[in-house]
Amino acid sequence: MIELIPAIDLMDGKCVRLTQGDYDTKKRYNDDPLEVAAMFEAHGIRRLHLVDLDGVREGRIVHYRVLEKLATHTGLVIDFGGGLKSDEDLRVAFECGAQMVTGGSIAVKDPATFTSWIDRFGSGKIILGADAKEGKVAVGGWTETTDRELIPFIEEYHRKGITKVICTDIGRDGMLQGTAVELYREIRAALPGIYVIASGGVGSVEDIEKLAEAGIPAVIFGKAFYEGRIRLEELLRFT
């Protein structure tokens, strides 16, 4: 059974969504992240992907109080990402209730620090964020494409202990036109020991079904729910 992980993206403490990582496309959906998180939990969801978009821009954790509120008032297992650059950011995230953190840009730009997090906290708490644009790794909230090939990049961190990766095909993110199923199949075939979390492009329950049929272990969804294309009642069969 595929694991369902709804996303809450935060700007100014509110639930928003971007399209292809472009901050100029910001659309606000709800002023109360706790209300949204509680709704997910009430429908059998057990996980939450919480993204600090202001943290991405500022290069430090910003919305730790929202994280703390959601962790305190729900039983959701929260993975937190966005702007985590230092050991202090990590300390704050864990102390405020994150059970896992996701590192993306730091894994490219400061591999020594990211590797030290894996060594210190273990693969159960550290998730690799490997965002892709035309097969290359992208960083900085997707504003910068590197020359790193995606699968070798994931493989490098798999050898260092990473077992979970959130992979977003940037070209599909927020477009609601389907996920990069073949890309995720390629990752699974090359690295069968990696728990692939598909992200970007989910536009319907059928997209989730296709991932499940392909053997992808987990999926992050957001905009399709906020835009009313997916109703939580439809997801009960996956929970």
Positions marked active-site? 9, 131
Angle between helices 111-121 and 87-95 (to 10 degrees): 40
**Secondary structure of residue 54 in the 3-state scheme:** helix
Query: Helix, strand, or coil here: 37?
Result: helix
Which ranges in the chain belong to alpha helices (H)?
A: 33-42, 53-58, 64-73, 87-95, 105-109, 111-121, 150-159, 181-190, 205-213, 223-226
Residue 78's nearest CA partner among 28, 107, 118, 36 is 36
